[in-house]
């Protein structure tokens, strides 16, 4: 079993990645469009898309056959 502190660190890194990608997508939308509603939508979309990618990666890591897992 993994160390609980390690799991919290991994979760914090994942959430930080999601926040940064959401912020960057909002920043890009603000620079291109300037409309506040578009910026908020882009921030939310970037955050949710990053979360979806991280969840799919986690799901694939958990469901790999034991013979294919790295040691």
Assigned token pair, 18: 């999601």
CA distances for 40 relative to 13, 22, 23, 36, 52, angstroms: 23, 9, 9, 6, 18
Look at residue 65 in the predicted model and tell me its pLDDT. 65
d(CA 46, CA 7): 24
What local confidence, expressed as pLDDT, does residue 70 receive?
A: 65
How many domains, the chain? 1
3-52 tens-digit pLDDT? 778 778 888 888 998 999 889 888 888 888 878 888 888 888 888 988 89
68 φψ region: left (φ > 0), alpha (ψ -120 to 50), beta (else): alpha
Instruction: Tell me what pLDDT residue 71 has.
Output: 59
Q: For the residues 60-69, what does the mean pLDDT come to?
A: 70
- The reported pLDDT for the residue numbered 1 is 47
Q: What average pLDDT does range 46-70 have in this prediction?
A: 79
Q: Which domain holds residue 61?
A: 4-68
- Alpha-carbon gap, residue 32 to 26, rounded angstroms: 10
């Amino acid at each position: 079993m993994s160390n609980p502190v390690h799991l919290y660190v991994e979760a914090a890194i994942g959430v930080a990645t999601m926040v940064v990608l959401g912020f960057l997508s909002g920043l890009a939308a603000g620079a291109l469009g300037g409309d506040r509603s578009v910026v908020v939508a882009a921030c939310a979309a970037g955050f949710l898309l990053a979360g979806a990618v991280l969840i799919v990666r986690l799901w694939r890591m958990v469901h790999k056959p034991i013979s294919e897992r790295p040691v």
